[in-house]
């Protein structure tokens, strides 16, 4: 597992600058702490054999890290930018991540896929009500939407409506993990 993380970091450091727009791109230690360690916050919500969607995956945060740590779950990494999905495909191939499927598509079209997810994760992707509208047809009953959000979320939390409920709100060093359950 550590070998795959090391290889992933090297791929990130070597990626085209316009693909990896997060900081601190040049510092491997900070990159690991800020992005790969942060992905561990999503782990408690993903069980083996889950089908997981990483919505707006970018260059794979948190989807790639989760796929490395949860090899018995299947991960769909969705992003609308071809530059990102090309990079994700390269990472998938280089790390031999057979549990990853990369999808180049706008999130609003996820409804067109005939896939039901146990868990949807998204990090700094969009507003909660927008995310719920995108994935409402694709989350299994009892499924979870796990979102990494910044501090200012009180108004967004008010927009969670049936068939979704706020299941858990966890304060973290970067903001919150918002866990929404589909009834």
Which domain covers residue 176, as residue numbers? Answer: 2-182
pLDDT of residue 12: 85
pLDDT of residue 14: 82
Angstrom distances, CA of residue 41 to CA of 9, 34, 147, 176: 19, 12, 10, 10
What residues does 176 pair with on adjacent strands? Answer: 149, 171
pLDDT of residue 27: 67
Query: Among the listed ranges 2-11, 21-30, 125-134, which one has the minimum average pLDDT value?
Result: 21-30
Listed in sequence order, the residues at least 6 apart from 14 whose beta carbon sits closer than 8 Å to its beta carbon are none
What residues does 52 pair with on adjacent strands? Answer: 75, 119
Query: Among the listed ranges 38-42, 81-85, 91-95, 113-117, which one has the minimum average pLDDT value?
Result: 38-42
136 pLDDT tier (thresholds 50, 70, 90): very high
Residue 30 reports pLDDT greater than 60: yes
pTM value is 0.93
- For 62-73, what is each residue's pLDDT tens digit? 999 999 999 999
Residue 61 reports pLDDT greater than 60: yes
- Tell me how many degrees the CA angle 90-91-95 measures, rounded to the nearest 5: 120
Angstrom distances, CA of residue 39 to CA of 18, 45, 120, 158: 22, 11, 13, 26
Residue 74 reports pLDDT greater than 90: yes
Query: Among the listed ranges 17-26, 49-58, 161-170, which one has the minimum average pLDDT value?
Result: 17-26
- Tell me the CATH number at 136: 3.40.50.150
pLDDT of residue 2: 87
Q: What percentage of the chain carries pLDDT values higher than 70?
A: 92
Residue with tokens 């600058």: 17
**In terms of Cα–Cα distance, which of 180, 177, 155 is closest to 167?**
180
Domain count across the chain: 1
Task: Please indicate whether residue 112 or residue 22 has the higher confidence score (pLDDT).
Answer: 112
């Amino acid at each position: 597992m550590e070998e795959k993380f090391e290889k992933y970091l090297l791929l990130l450091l070597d990626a085209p600058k316009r693909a990896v727009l997060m900081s601190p791109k040049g510092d491997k230690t900070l990159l690991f702490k800020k992005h790969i360690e942060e992905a561990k916050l999503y782990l408690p919500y993903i069980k083996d054999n889950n089908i997981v969607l990483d919505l707006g995956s970018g260059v794979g945060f948190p989807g790639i890290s989760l796929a490395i740590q949860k090899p018995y779950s299947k991960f769909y990494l969705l992003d609308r930018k071809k530059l990102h999905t090309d990079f994700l495909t390269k990472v998938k191939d280089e790390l031999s991540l057979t549990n990853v499927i990369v999808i180049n598509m706008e999130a609003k079209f996820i409804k067109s896929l005939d896939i039901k997810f146990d868990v949807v994760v998204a990090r700094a992707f969009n507003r909660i009500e927008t995310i719920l509208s995108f994935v409402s047809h694709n989350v299994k009953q009892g499924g979870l939407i796990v979102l990494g959000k910044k501090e200012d979320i009180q108004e967004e939390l008010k927009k969670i409506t049936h068939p979704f409920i706020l299941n858990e709100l966890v304060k973290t060093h970067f903001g919150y993990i918002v866990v929404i359950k589909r009834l």
